[in-house]
Structure 1
Amino acid sequence: MPRRTSGPARRRRPQRHKDVLHEHRTRDFRCAGCRLDVSADAPGTGHRNHCPHCLVSLHVDARVPGDRAAGCRGRMEALSVSARADGEWLLIHRCLACGELSANRIAGDDNPRALVLLVVRPLRAASASCRALLAS
């Protein structure tokens, strides 16, 4: 079934070429959240930037994914999930050190349960507040 849009048909902007050198990107890493060893290979994306198990990341990229130019190095927690017009999911991370927000593509091996828990988090919070209102 075709997707309805309001107004002229929206076209996804082509991904810009990343001319960043990635020699240092190919190393595996240990997750700052769950402490599991994570492979640098990420199905569906060329830049592994978060743990596929707990979705925690480190604030290492500045402007371009994979540039590793951020000086903060703070822990980034997954806040929410967003979806592009074409249906691709993005993780919204917030740095606990500096507060910066970033959007990162999900990888093919990300934990589906962790992703769904992020999606339903606003619904869970809303139902708790409704219960509190009804109890008073």
Structure 2
Amino acid sequence: MKQKESAQHRRGNTPEWFQCIHCGQQVVPETYGTEHRNHCPWCLWSKHLDDQPGDRAADCGGSMEPVAVWVRRGGEWAIIHRCKRCGDFHSNRIAGDDHEVLLLSLAFRPLSQPPFPLERIQIGVIPADAS
């Protein structure tokens, strides 16, 4: 019960801005199409505050690294964050002022760092075990 009361208390005290846990920039939480922003638009890092979006019930408080993006049904992009302290993963919808180049670099990371040497790819050749 105490945790629930604490979460409700924290929810009612929404700051006008917060300082990014990673790059130190000042961030306005409720702007550009998001109600529960907890990631920085400049570096895309977050702080582990929520168990569910906006509940501010997580006790961890660790830094959350942006590790990937994914596209939700309907085409909306979201950032996948991994907590550096506890290892949890969370998905956060992007906001209109998020750094576009960083979002694209997250999207292209799997293509630029494949799990195999690119030299092994032979154009027009289907591997024997692919059938």
Q: Scaled by the length of structure 1, what TM-score is found?
A: 0.76
Q: Structure 1 unaligned segments of length 5 or more: list them.
A: 1-19
Q: CA RMSD, aligned part only?
A: 1.9
Q: 1:108 aligns with which of 76, 96, 100?
A: 96
Secondary structure at 2:23 match in 1: coil
Alpha-carbon distance between aligned partners in 2 of 1:77 and 1:94, rounded to the nearest angstrom: 5
1:38 aligns with 2:61: no
Aligned partner of 2:83 in structure 1 is: 95
Does the 8 A contact of 1:59 with 1:70 survive in 2? yes
Count of residues in correspondence between the two structures:
113
Q: 1:85 aligns with which of 65, 68, 73?
A: 73
Q: 2:14 aligns with which of 5, 25, 28?
A: 25
How far off its partner does 1:127 sit? Answer: 8.6
Does the 8 A contact of 2:50 with 2:57 survive in 1? yes
Bigger mean CA offset, 121-130 vs 90-99:
121-130
How far off its partner does 1:30 sit? Answer: 0.7
Secondary structure at 2:13 match in 1: helix
Q: 2:49 aligns with which of 49, 60, 74?
A: 60
Alpha-carbon distance between aligned partners in 1 of 2:56 and 2:93, rounded to the nearest angstrom: 16
Alpha-carbon distance between aligned partners in 2 of 1:33 and 1:61, rounded to the nearest angstrom: 17
Does the 8 A contact of 1:25 with 1:66 survive in 2? no
Higher-Rg structure is: 2
- Structure 1 residue identity aligned to 2:101: R
- Structure 2 residue identity aligned to 1:54: C
Secondary structure at 1:25 match in 2: coil
Alpha-carbon distance between aligned partners in 1 of 2:95 and 2:105, rounded to the nearest angstrom: 16
Aligned partner of 2:3 in structure 1 is: none
